[in-house]
Chains A and B, each alone.
Chain A
Amino acid sequence: MNNLELQKHANDVRKGIVTAVHSAKAGHPGGSLSSADLFTFLYFEEMNIDPKDPDKEDRDRFVLSKGHNAPGLYSALANRGFFPVEDLTTLRKLGSYLQGHPCIHIPGVDMSSGSLGQGISAAAGMALGAKMGGKDFRVYTLLGDGEIEEGQVWEAAMFAGFRKLDNLCVIVDNNNLQIDGPIDQVCSPYPIDKKFEAFNFHVINADAHDFDALRAAFKEARETKGCPTCIVMHSLKGKGVSFMENSIDWHGKAPNDEEYAVAMADLEKIGAELEKAGEA
């Protein structure tokens, strides 16, 4: 898929995130927006998946270890056709299948997650299961840069590195902000790349908002044999919505009606520019 198409899809994914969180009056827009390009790239280009057959056996798997970014995942799945985009407005509401954090019963969701540090272990288990069963699907998991403060992440990294799970690709969304402040001021996990290297990962640094960079990184990951890959993705929290960008305030807060209007206007403007670029 060309970059312009991906950018358009990513912009739709961002609209879905903002709309879902606004409708829910709660949720996590900041990290969902910083990962929106990644969700788009995975579901529209990288992964072997089929929205008509979400459970097909040879599909690639994705585990959202930073499960609080469910709005981002749900919006990507909806825009990719796993379920209706209109359902995004039921997020977090009683009776909705779109639970506050990913639930395995949602079409396209491969694992329940949300308690930080746990998703990467499940992803490692899936990757090992593929190897033991002689299956060649790949497993992707997305972690927050704050999430990697959890000890379990490093238990899983040790396991994956030791087991040489080269069908596992760990992505860290390095937007540099966690709830209590910048990650290097709360309990710094830096240097992230060196840490994963020490756990026997092949590590790639990439720009989270550049599809050429993401494409090159995932190609390199696929071609890396004998060890798992970690892509440290340098991102902007709240990307795409002017007042949310690089702001801790929007980690886990919903926009009110006026803020929602501004956010959607920001995204409409980006959308219009992309349309114009397409015509040029």
Chain B
Amino acid sequence: MADQTVVKIATRESYGNALKELAEEFPDLVVLDADLAAATKTSIFRKAYPDRHIDCGIAESNMMGVAAGLSLTGKIPFVSSFAMFAAGRAFEQVRNSIGYPHLNVKIGATHAGITVGEDGATHQCNEDIALMRTIPGMVVMCPADDVEAKAAVRAALEYEGPVFIRFGRAAVPVINDKPGYKFEIGKGSIVREGSDVTIVATGICVDSALGAAEKLAAEGISAEVVSICTIKPLDEEIIIKSAKKTGKVVTVEEHSVIGGLGSAVCDCLSANHPTLVKKLGMQDVFGESGSAAALVQKYGLDAEGVYGSVKEFM
């Protein structure tokens, strides 16, 4: 029964809604898509502001360059596609035409990770965070829910420079609709305090981490959950502080364990406070077809899976 009261919204939906809601406040905002407006949800913006929506057709490489050129005329382009094509196919265009000249282009990459589901491995991008992190000056964000996704879109528009935001296809519980919620690029938050182990999570895995912490608590294990939306620049302070407190860190992400949040956390801790870290995510494997829920369960990224991994680690 309790489950019925949980509001679930896909962060791609939040993205489309935020673009529309912020359009008046940011008159220079224009939205680009590559024949996926219905899926990326920029169609919500397009319906309200057709003259400010540019469909570039199925040509992501060109779309990144067009966005670069638009930004040089004072527009603030939000470029949209699936993460696979935005960060994968167009990586070099993002690097050379947006990152190198440090242009004011925002990339809204939807359908990230395995929760793309049935489409399977070709469309499940588990590498985008790793790729985007390597571009100097690129801000990389991965919001956990509707509230954070909308806040991230606003923050990106207020920030001058290139930003990559990762959104998901599947509806996920809203967890940040709390009074006093504040969002800042580069700031993480403690969403549950604990003392025995730190679980650092990003995106939809924050909810799994919270669920795991609940189960661990029932067995007397006190888990602290750190929610990281901005993977770059990383909130090193919050991670070091929590690691010092608990002495053990588990990272959880819907992404390869190579180069993503887990790697960023390891980079930070190995230089500042060497700590044993267990990285949960895609363990150097491709995804496959299946429902989002079934995949998250199979790859151990649901609350049950995270709980089991943390317990084993203790």
Contacts and interface: CB of A to CB of B under 8 A. Distances in A.
A and B together in one complex? yes
Interface stretch (A4-12, A81-89, A117-125, A182-190): A117-125
A180 B244 CA distance: 58
Contact of A152 (B51, B65, B70, B71): B65
Contact of A123 (B56, B61, B69): B69
A122 B73 contact: no
A139 B92 CA distance: 23
Contact of B97 (A103, A110, A122): A122
A181 interface: no
B62 A110 contact: no
Contacts, number: 106
A194 B93 CA distance: 27
B74 interface: yes
A205 interface: no
A114 B69 contact: no
User: Size band of the A side of the interface?
Assistant: 20 to 34
B299 to A, nearest CB: 34
Contacts of A63: 69
B191 interface: no
Nearest to B62: A155
Interface string B68-102: 11111111000000000000000011001100110
Nearest to A157: B62
A221 B151 CA distance: 46
B66 interface: yes
Contacts of B63: 121
Nearest to B69: A125
Interface stretch (A129-137, A212-220, A228-236, A256-264): A129-137
A129 B65 contact: no
A122 B57 contact: no
Contacts of B57: 155, 158-159, 162
Interface residues of B, number: 28
Contacts of B70: 125-126, 128-129, 132
A226 B75 CA distance: 23
A70 interface: no
A224 interface: no
B73 A133 contact: yes
B73 A129 contact: yes
Contacts of A123: 69
A129 B70 CA distance: 5
**Among the interface residues B59, B66, B69, B73, which one has the most CB atoms of the partner chain A within 10 A?**
B69
A133 B69 CA distance: 13
A66 to B, nearest CB: 14
A203 interface: no
B101 A120 contact: no
B30 interface: yes
A123 B51 CA distance: 20
B54 interface: yes
Contacts of A121: 61-66, 68-69, 93, 97
B72 A124 contact: no
Contact of B72 (A111, A132, A156): A111
B67 interface: yes
A104 B101 contact: yes
A124 B66 contact: yes
B62 A115 contact: no
A159 B96 CA distance: 20
Contacts of A111: 68-69, 72, 97, 101
Interface string A167-207: 00000000000000000000000000000000000000000
Given A121-B63, A125-B68, A155-B61, 7 more contacts: A112-B101, A122-B66, A124-B65, A128-B69, A132-B73, A135-B73, A162-B57
12 contacts: A121-B68, A121-B97, A122-B72, A124-B65, A125-B65, A129-B70, A132-B30, A133-B73, A152-B59, A155-B62, A158-B62, A159-B66
Interface of A: 61, 63, 103-104, 110-112, 114-115, 117-130, 132-133, 135, 139, 151-152, 155-156, 158-159, 162
